[in-house]
Amino acid sequence: MNELKVALAQIAPVWLNKNKTIEKIKTYITEAGDKECDLIVFGEGLLPGYPFWLSLTNASEFNSQVQKEMHAHYISNSIQIEKGEINDICLLAKKTKIAIYLGLIERALNRGGHSLYCSLVYIDKEGVIKSVHRKLQPTYEERLCWSQGDGNGLQVHSINDFNVGGLNCWENWMPLARTTLYALGENVHIAVWPGSERNTIDITRFIAKESRSYVISVSSIMRKEDFTIDTPHLETILKNAPDILADGGSCIANPDGEWLVAPVVNKEGLIIETLHINRVYEERQNFDVSGHYSRPDVTQLIVNRERQSILSIKE
């Protein structure tokens, strides 16, 4: 139990096609299960894909018909967890005895069922959804299609002798969000990204040095040919798109901040490695950010885990 075999799924979605993307995800879960991995991680918003059109089609134009049609298409391919749309993935987790971190775009019923959240879902080895973390703060153009999340999913989960937690993309730069997970006993930090080495190469090692934890950054791949033919306004998107929109950059840092797996670019597939709990214990000897190197009598953090909604029904 003092080891954790992890699979980083650096793959492209079947862009904005939730059903075909789910089938692709299941293929990689099965492969990781066959290789006896304990955990598989998929990138930010992989299901059904990152909203790349925003930066390619003048997304800030108010009342644009292009943006309305793209957003409607995105909503149609987003995930309603409460309606069982990832049940097949949960069943496969149980069958293969593998835990899953999955980045998806959630259409939350408890927020009206039409607004979208960039969520990171944790499914345990029994196929049970244990947390759904809605991204606290979408970044830049993401705010034109994603809503602000809440603290309900700031949770850590036990796998073997490890405690695993995760954040989406630039949330990993938010000190208090990281601190919450550290205080919960995290020793494997999952950072999911839409893709690109420029995002992962610095912060992965930085978080490892700060937390004395393993840090796993998982990114997607997105190439011009990965845009699907049924995408609204595809011609406009392709005209403005570079050949490579996300080159991956998935990687793993050891608890001392050195590379276990340096960023991998322009390669689709599974990256598999084994983590050892003693490496965490060794680095906590001289620095433990929530333990012997903390001063709770001087500074403390308050976290609101309440799931946010405008409606509270009293009968």
pLDDT tens for each residue of 119-130: 999 999 999 999
The whole-number pLDDT of residue 250 equals: 98
289 located within any domain: no
**At residue 156, what is the residue type?**
V
Q: Is the pLDDT of residue 39 over 90?
A: yes
Q: Which residues contact 63 (CB under 8 A, 6 or more apart)?
A: none
Q: What percent of the chain has pLDDT over 70?
A: 100
Give the mean model confidence (pLDDT) for residues 75-90: 97
End-to-end, the C-alpha distance of the chain in Å comes to 48
The whole-number pLDDT of residue 13 equals: 98
Domain of 93: which CATH number? 3.60.110.10
Residues 97 and 125 sit within 8 Å (Cβ to Cβ): yes
HEC states along 48-99?
Answer: CCCCHHHHCCCCCCCCCHHHHHHHHHHHHCCECHHHCCCHHHHHHHHHHCCE
The whole-number pLDDT of residue 262 equals: 98
The whole-number pLDDT of residue 1 equals: 87
Q: How confident is the model at residue 174 (pLDDT cuts 50, 70, 90)?
A: very high
Report the candidate in 1, 41, 47 with the shortest Cα–Cα distance to residue 23.
47
215 located within any domain: yes
The whole-number pLDDT of residue 191 equals: 98
Say whether 174 sits in a helix, a strand or coil.
coil
* CA distance to 5, 26, 82, per residue, from 250 (Å): 16, 20, 30
Name the residues annotated as catalytic. 44, 135, 169
Give the mean model confidence (pLDDT) for residues 264-281: 98
Q: What percent of the chain has pLDDT over 90?
A: 98
Residue 256, number of CB atoms within 10 A of its CB: 13
CA pair distance 186, 214, nearest whole angstrom: 9
Residues 146 and 168 sit within 8 Å (Cβ to Cβ): no
Which residues in the chain belong to E strands, given as ranges? 3-10, 39-42, 99-107, 116-123, 129-134, 156-159, 162-168, 188-193, 214-219, 221-223, 244-253, 259-265, 269-276
Q: How confident is the model at residue 93 (pLDDT cuts 50, 70, 90)?
A: very high
CA pair distance 276, 308, nearest whole angstrom: 37
Report the candidate in 76, 86, 67 with the shortest Cα–Cα distance to residue 17.
76
306 located within any domain: no
User: Total structural domains in the chain?
Assistant: 1
CA pair distance 88, 13, nearest whole angstrom: 17
What is the residue-averaged pLDDT of the chain?
Answer: 97
Residue 248, number of CB atoms within 10 A of its CB: 30
Q: Which residues contact 46 (CB under 8 A, 6 or more apart)?
A: 11, 13, 21, 25, 102, 103, 104, 220
The whole-number pLDDT of residue 312 equals: 86
Instruction: Tell me the per-residue pLDDT of 114-164, one tens digit each, with 9 for 90 and over.
Output: 999 999 999 999 999 999 999 999 999 999 999 999 999 999 999 999 999
The residue assigned the tokens 């509270």 is: 312
Give the mean model confidence (pLDDT) for residues 264-275: 98
Structure tokens at 131: 């947390």
308 located within any domain: no
Q: How confident is the model at residue 168 (pLDDT cuts 50, 70, 90)?
A: very high
Domain containing 87 equals 3-284
Instruction: Tell me the per-residue pLDDT of 198-255, one tens digit each, with 9 for 90 and over.
Output: 999 999 999 999 999 999 999 999 999 999 999 999 999 999 999 999 999 999 999 9
The whole-number pLDDT of residue 248 equals: 98
The whole-number pLDDT of residue 281 equals: 98
pTM across the whole model: 0.96
132 located within any domain: yes
Structure tokens at 114: 């039409």
292 located within any domain: no
313 located within any domain: no
CA pair distance 198, 196, nearest whole angstrom: 5
The whole-number pLDDT of residue 300 equals: 95
CA pair distance 216, 205, nearest whole angstrom: 10
Look at phi and psi of residue 288 and say left if phi exceeds 0, alpha if psi is from -120 to 50, else beta. beta
Report the candidate in 16, 25, 10 with the shortest Cα–Cα distance to residue 54.
16
The whole-number pLDDT of residue 26 equals: 98
The whole-number pLDDT of residue 58 equals: 95
Q: Is the pLDDT of residue 2 over 90?
A: yes
Determine the distance from the C-alpha atom of residue 26 to the mean position of all C-alpha atoms in its chain, rounded to a whole number: 17
301 located within any domain: no
Strand partners, 132: 121
The whole-number pLDDT of residue 104 equals: 98
Give the mean model confidence (pLDDT) for residues 35-53: 98
